[in-house]
Each structure stands twice: as C-alpha cells, then as structure tokens.
C-alpha cells in the first residue's frame, strides 16, 4: 500500500485554482502544493530518478492527502498524479463524499507501467472517479493512452494556448480538438493569462484556467 512515509515536519500546504466555464462560473478546482519545502518537492517530481521511486510515490500521495483534507468546496477537485504513482488514488487516501474527484494524468504514466496503471484506472472509474489528460499537446500522445484512460477532460497545455495567436493557428487547434468534443470529452484551456487569450479560446475550449481568471489560493471557496 502506498502511504506517506516522509517527515511530517515538511512545510507544505495546498492551494486551489478555479476552473471556469465561458460565463466564468466555477466548475472545479485544481490543487497545487506550496510552502517552504515545496520547491524541493517539485524539483524531485520534475527531475525524478528510478532509485527514488518509492519516495516520489510517497510524496505524491502526501500531496494528494493534504489537498483532500483542506478542500472545502463541493465542486469537483482536480488532483495531479505523478507518472510513477501506478495507483493514482491508493487505498490510504480518504475517498471524498462531498465532491467529485478528477485525477489528472499525463501520458508518461502509461509509459512507466501501463498494465498496473490501467488496472487501477479501471477500478477507479468503476467507483465514479473521472480522469483528465494533462498537458495535452506538449508531449507525445497515443490513441491507446486515450482509450485506456477514458478521459472526461483534456487539458490543453499552456504552451499551446500561448502559441495560438492568429486565426490560422486557432482554426488548426479547433479542428484537432473537435473529434474529442464529438466523443463527449470536454476541453480545458490552461494558462489563460490575458482576456485576449480567454476570448480567443472560446471557440476551442469548454472551460478555462489561468492567472487571468484567478491565482491559486489557500482553501477553496465557492466563488471568485
């Protein structure tokens, strides 16, 4: 069982950033980790080594636990999951009853241990957990990944949003994402930092997230 085994004295706390629809109504919150030790933790996540898999998984679980414990909204909570966490929601974590749960996964997770992850994903979907493909368009993508995950959401990487600065690029992005929307997958545009970007993405995305909308804050609230 994956359980947090790192020192409880670590200075870490969760913050939450709203995800909104076209009317700027909140449809969910994504959690992030902050605190004096957050930089060290995030560096370990971003530059992992195979000899530290157990420690990374424990830290990933701890971050999820903190996010769950301090979440007060009834809107869906979006939790990031590290690719090394083959069980993205281990039994040690309390299953939420007051809100829905969305787990964000990148394709790297399936590259690490596809059979184990697929098994856990199937079990979690049966319990009502939904999934989102994170940072879509920034790394590699495969059809088996999409089929295995059965995502409710696809989150466009902020690099994609920032590169769509003319009608031609927006049209290309719209054509690329249209098949997913026809499948019932909702498109979330991440990295919205200006009103112009928000307006540009109206024809592409169903929901939006970024500093222009709101910065991540401690304790989720019901309105912006």
Question: Parallel, antiparallel, or unpaired: how do β-strands 26-34 and 13-20 relate?
Answer: antiparallel
pLDDT of residue 77: 98
pLDDT of residue 32: 93
The domain over range 13-208 is classified in CATH as 3.40.50.970:
no
Which tokens in the block code for residue 191? 């990295």
Give residue limits of the domains in the chain: 13-208
Indicate if the alpha-carbon torsion angle 128, 65, 154, 189 is positive or negative. Answer: positive
Model's pTM, two decimal places?
0.87
Instruction: For residue 21, give Cα distances in angstroms to 81, 99, 137, 206, 213.
Output: 24, 18, 21, 6, 11
pLDDT of residue 47: 56
Cα separation, 146 vs 133, whole angstroms: 8
pLDDT of residue 46: 60
Which tokens in the block code for residue 171? 């049209």
Q: What does the pLDDT profile of the chain (224 residues) look like in tens digits?
A: 444 444 456 788 999 999 999 999 999 999 998 887 766 666 656 655 556 778 888 889 999 999 999 999 999 999 999 888 889 999 999 999 999 999 999 877 777 777 888 899 999 999 999 999 998 887 666 677 777 788 999 999 999 999 988 889 999 999 999 999 999 999 999 999 999 999 999 999 999 999 999 999 997 444 44
pLDDT of residue 140: 64
Neighbouring residues of 94: CB distance < 8 A, sequence distance ≥ 6: 65, 68, 69
> With the CA atoms of 164, 166, 168 and 169 taken in that order, what torsion angle do they form, in degrees rounded to the nearest 10?
-10
pLDDT of residue 116: 86
pLDDT of residue 171: 93
Neighbouring residues of 164: CB distance < 8 A, sequence distance ≥ 6: 170, 173, 200, 201, 204
pLDDT of residue 7: 46
């Amino acid at each position: 069982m994956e359980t947090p085994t790192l020192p409880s004295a670590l200075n870490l706390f969760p913050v939450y950033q709203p995800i909104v629809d076209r009317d700027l109504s909140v449809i969910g919150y994504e959690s992030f980790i902050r605190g004096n030790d957050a930089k060290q933790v995030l560096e370990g996540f971003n530059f992992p080594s195979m000899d530290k898999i157990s420690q990374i998984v424990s830290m990933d679980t701890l971050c999820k636990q903190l996010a769950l414990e301090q979440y007060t909204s009834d809107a869906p909570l979006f939790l990031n999951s590290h690719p090394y966490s083959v069980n993205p929601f281990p039994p040690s974590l309390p299953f939420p009853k007051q809100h829905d749960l969305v787990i964000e996964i990148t394709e790297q997770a399936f590259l690490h241990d596809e059979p184990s992850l697929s098994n856990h994903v199937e079990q979690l979907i049966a319990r009502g957990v939904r999934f989102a493909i994170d940072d879509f368009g920034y790394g590699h993508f495969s059809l088996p990944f999409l089929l295995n995950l059965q995502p409710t959401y696809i989150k466009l990487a902020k690099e994609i949003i920032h590169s769509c600065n003319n009608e031609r690029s927006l049209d290309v992005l719209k054509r690329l994402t249209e098949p997913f929307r026809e499948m019932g997958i909702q498109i979330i545009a991440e990295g919205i930092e200006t009103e112009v970007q928000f307006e540009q993405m109206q024809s592409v995305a169903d929901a939006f997230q970024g500093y222009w909308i709101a910065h991540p804050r401690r304790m989720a609230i019901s309105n912006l």
